[in-house]
Structure formats: C-alpha cells, structure tokens
Amino acid sequence: MPPSPGSAPVPAPAPAPGSRLRICVFCGSRAGSSAAHARAARQVGRAVAERGHTLVYGGAGSGLMGEVAWAASRAGARIEGIMPRFLFGREAPGEAPPQDFTVTDTMHDRKREMLGRSDAFVALPGGYGTLDEVLEVVSLTHLGHMDKPLVLVDVDGAWRQFARLVREVRDRGFADGQERDLFSITDDAPAAVETAEREWARRSRLRGDAA
C-alpha cells in the first residue's frame, strides 16, 4: 500500500465464517536451485487448501508460484491471482490452474491488491520480487499501517540472512519493536499455514476483534 502521510492504517479484512482466511503466498517466479524449494511450495499450497483457505498470489504458472498454485488447486482451494498485463509473457498465467484472475495496469496496483485483500502472508524463498513484497509487509507493519501475520518459510536457511538483517536494523537503532510483531519464521513448511492462523488469531485478540 502506498504509505502516504496521514493515510489510515490498512484495515484487517473481516474473516469469512469459520475463520477461513485469504492467505497470500509470496515466492519465486522461478523454481530456484534446489528441489526442496518446490517441495515446500507444494506443501504450503496443499495446506492452504486443506485448511479451507483461499490462496491469493501473483497469478503465475511459472516457478514456485506455479507449484504453490497447482498444489492448492489439486487439493481444492479457491485461488485468486493478480498480475499486470506486461508480465503475461514472462510469468505464464496460461499455465496456471483455474482461478479468479485480476489484471492490473501496474506492479504497484498488483501489490496493493495482494496486500489489501489478504488476511495473512506466507513467504517461500524467491528472488527480488519476493524480497520486495516481504519488505513491504515488514515496513508497513513497523509503521503501524498493517496488522497482518507474515510467516517466512525458511527452506534450507533461505530467510536466515533476512532475519539477521532485520535484527541488525533494530540493533543499529533504525527500528524498534519485537521481531515477533513483524514476522514469524519456520522451517516447517507444512505447518506454516497453521502458524499464520495462530498469529492471525493472536492479533485479532490483541485488537479486541469480535469473535
């Protein structure tokens, strides 16, 4: 979301009945160098479906994004994909599973949609796009403009350096607060969605949302 001065915090969307959430997954549009990445992506996609949630993602058929989406789809999840038109040739939406597909004009529009309509975020390993999305959630959360869980799935230590960097930013006095309020980190890919659910419930309780 554009952090314009004085704008209202991003509201936490009301959960659907039974606490079914929109879980947004950030991950690489490429497959990465290890089969462990794709395995974790499929585990996360399947968990989104099996726990009754909707998958929100970038709409791609390529890389880990495609792996998450196909695993979620095969396990019966509803999927919402969002992609700017100029990426069609690059991220192969035609190879993605059936989904509610939204076309945006710009990358920023896409990110705003993904951040705005989701209840929680799960990040697998990825490239610069994934880093950008994760950092956007972290920075908006730190500013108090967002209050939604972010779970980093630490496949083979993929997020270790990022977590260290966040700690260093705080230790140097450029940020404050607890890491837990910015993100959770786990190497247990199948359990990442449950971690997001628990954190979502904790935040709801802290805000005093109606049950």
**Which positions touch ligand AMP (CB under 6 A)?**
28-30, 58, 60, 87, 91, 107, 111, 126-130, 132-133
Residue closer to ligand AMP, measured from CB, 80 or 197? 80
Residue closer to ligand AMP, measured from CB, 45 or 129? 129
Q: How far is the CB of 131 from ligand AMP (least distance, A)?
A: 7
Residue closer to ligand AMP, measured from CB, 119 or 136? 136
Q: How far is the CB of 87 from ligand AMP (least distance, A)?
A: 5
Q: How far is the CB of 91 from ligand AMP (least distance, A)?
A: 5
CB atoms within 10 A of CB 174: 8
Q: Which long-range contacts (CB under 8 A, 24 or more apart) does 104-109 make?
A: 108/2, 109/84
Residue closer to ligand AMP, measured from CB, 30 or 39? 30
Q: How far is the CB of 180 from ligand AMP (least distance, A)?
A: 25
Comparing every residue's Cβ against ligand AMP, the nearest one is 129
